[in-house]
Every structure is written in structure tokens, then in C-alpha cells.
Amino acid sequence: MHFFIHLFFQGKPNWQGNMKLIDLGFDHWFEAHAAESRKSGQDIARVTAVDRGAYLVRNECREITAELAGKFRFRTESSADLPCVGDWVTVQYHNSGTSAIIHGILPRKTFLRRKCAGEDVDFQMIAANIDTAFIVLSCHFDFNLRRLDRYLVMATEGRVEPMVLLTKTDLISPDELELVLEAIRRSGIAARVLSLSNMTGVGFDEFRRELAPGRTYCLLGSSGVGKTTLVNRLIGHDAFDTKAVSETGEGTHTTARRQLIVLEQGAMLIDTPGMRELSLLDASDGVDQTFEDISDLSPNCRYTDCSHTQEPGCAVLAAIANGELNEERHRSYVKLKKETEYHDLSYFEKRRKDKAFGRFVKSAKKQMDQKR
């Protein structure tokens, strides 16, 4: 598994020394769920990188390569049930403890997932057991409130605290930055917002103070918004190569794979590849919670099944008419609600067909065995 990038950190390599599982985020919640997942002879480790079915896991002593047990792989029905970065897994060691077999996954406390890109109606796991997701937007070219809504829904659906991180502030004036911040406030977005520049360092110390020991953070955003440059600044050297486009100042580097990095202060950070497409699946509750201002108005609508689009007596439309609700925010809500409901119907139909086919295969196999 030579293709794995080594994990980097700033300062002396406490990453390679002994660490307690609690230092890696294994709190009382996971401890309570470990007993029902771990069997005799198995240990607990955390997944730190995944690449085409190969894994790196970290235990109290070191990071080692791992692969799935055949039985585990066989009983997995969806790719979302396979380990992803941040998962806690049960393992057995072999080769004098230099490699491991993964037998199962502990329940996920939180998660980040999206619909698979393209026509496939299934989940793609981004990361698991995240405390805070930093949604990274460039003030210069990438700032898009509607895309921000999608990231916020994804984080909320997975019970992850979202925080907006505005980068490239050196490329706009202070007045332009204030307009960006005002646009977020007017939109009704309640998540905390931090702004910084990787070039000048303005705002970087405030961001670093957000990173607490034993907690796990994730960077989400499009390619070129400065995620990898931010990681390099945190660890104190260019662990990952980036290039700049002189015409725009935007990075061209795309992180190749998700990986968990342990920083010197003990916080854990997951960098993710830039997302060109962010579609939602099974995220209806996340939409309602993210657009809580609209959800709070819904009980006042005339009809209990109001879609908030054209019905008479709609409290949401009334709030737009009297200026209490941002019209763009309402359009974003309606679009995301329809999208996740459409994908949900396709997903559950696909699951129904898969289960029916599975029953057919089992029945055919049973009949063949009886004939023998």
C-alpha cells in the first residue's frame, strides 16, 4: 500500500509515539457502543485514510495498513456501510502487529455524506465522527450562498456542527468582505463565520484557536478555495503541493484522497477532495433543520401538507410578501426539498428491487440444493 500519503504534523512526531484512544477522539459515547461491536480477540482502531479498498488505521501505538475481512465485505450491502475516514473499527492484528484485518464498524456518532455523483442513486460517505465541519468558501470567486446551503444541509443531516470559513480575504477590499458577511446574515444563515487569508495570515490565529485537542474537524469545499494551503500552514510546512493560477489567485491543487491528520496541539483534521457536485439524498430532516426559520412558519399554514409554493393561506409566502423572509432563501429551500424527495424515491425503489432480487437468488439457490 505504498500509494498512501504519510500523515503529517507540526513539531515532534507525537503521531508516531504512544497515544491513548481518547486522544484520537474515542470518548465515552464510543466506549459505550464498543462492547456490542467488538468480539473476543479484537481491538479498536481509527481509520485515517482510504484508497481504493485499502485502509490505514491508527491505534494507541502506531499507524498500520489494513484490509477488510472477507465475511465483512461479503455482508456489506452498500458502499456507505464500508469504513470511511474517521470511522472506529474492530480489528485483528497479524504479521507481528504490522498489518490488520477489519471485522466491523462501530456506530457512527456523526457523519458527512452525499448522493453519489452521476446517475447512481446511493450514498457516498465523506467522513465519520466529525465534531465540526469547516465549510470553506473563497471570497474572491467561489462565494455562493446556494452552494453554502447545500453544505449546511449535509452537515446538519449528519449531526455535525457547521462553521463557515471565508478564505482569500486578501483578494478583496474590507468593504467587499463586509458585503459578503452581510449577504450571509441577510440570508438567514445562523452558522458561525470566520474569515482569513492564507497569504497574509490575517484571521489565521482565530481559526487555529477553534481547534481543540481530541476533537475532529473536516474541511469541505470546492477545489482551489485554499483547503490544502490551510493544512500546510497549520502543520508548518508544505506537506502537500499546491499551484496557483496567476490570473485569479486560486489554487489548482485537488486533494487526491481523504485523510485524517493529527496536529501538534492534538486536534484532528480531515482534508477532503474538492466537490464539483453536491447532491442530497435522504436529507429531508437536514433541510428542515437548516431552514429552521421556514420550518417554524409551517404550522401557521392553512394546509398541513403545504408545499410553500402556491397554496392560499401559506404562512411562508406571507412572510416573503411582508419582507420577513428572504425570497432567495425560500427558493433554495424549495429546490433542496424537491431534490432530496426525488432522490429518496429513486433510492428506496432501488433498494426494493435489490431486496427482491436477493430473495430470488436465495430461493433459486435453495431449490438447486434441494434437487441435489
| 120-to-79, 222, 343 alpha-carbon distances in Å | 12, 21, 10
pLDDT at 367: 58
Closest Cα partner for 85 from 204, 198, 5, 191? 5
pLDDT at 12: 34
Q: What is the pLDDT of residues 337-366, one digit of tens each?
A: 999 888 888 776 666 655 554 554 455 565
Residue 94's φ and ψ, nearest 5 degrees, are: -150, 180
3-state secondary structure (DSSP) of residue 285: helix
Torsion from C-alpha of 91, 93, 98, 100, nearest 10 degrees: -40
pLDDT at 17: 58
Those residues of the chain that have pLDDT short of 50 are 1-16, 241-249, 251-254, 357, 360-361
3-state secondary structure (DSSP) of residue 265: coil
Q: Any idea which fold 111-271 has?
A: Rossmann fold (3.40.50)
3-state secondary structure (DSSP) of residue 108: coil
Instruction: Write out the three cell numbers for 110.
Output: 456523526
Contact 136, 221 (CB under 8 A): yes
The CATH 2.40.50.140 portion of the chain extends over 21-105
Instruction: Write out the three cell numbers for 88.
Output: 472506529
Domain 21-105 sits in CATH at 2.40.50.140
Place of cell 494507541: 60
Q: What is the pLDDT of residues 46-57, one digit of tens each?
A: 999 998 889 999
Q: What is the 3-state secondary structure (H, E, C) of 162-206?
A: EEEEEECHHHCCHHHHHHHHHHHHHHCCCCEEEECCCCCCCCHHH
pLDDT at 243: 46
Q: How many CA atoms lie within 13 A of 219 on its CB side?
A: 34
Own/partner long-range contacts of 343-346 (Cβ < 8 Å, ≥24 apart): 343/115, 343/121, 343/279, 343/280, 343/281, 343/282, 344/281, 344/282, 344/284, 346/121
pLDDT at 126: 94
Strands 63-68 and 88-94, how do they pair?
Answer: unpaired
Choosing among 1.10.40.50, 1.10.3720.10, 3.40.718.10, 3.30.465.10, the CATH entry for 284-366 is 1.10.40.50
The CATH 1.10.40.50 portion of the chain extends over 284-366
Helices 145-157/174-187 angle, 10° precision:
50
> What's the CA gap between 154 and 180, in Å, rounded?
22
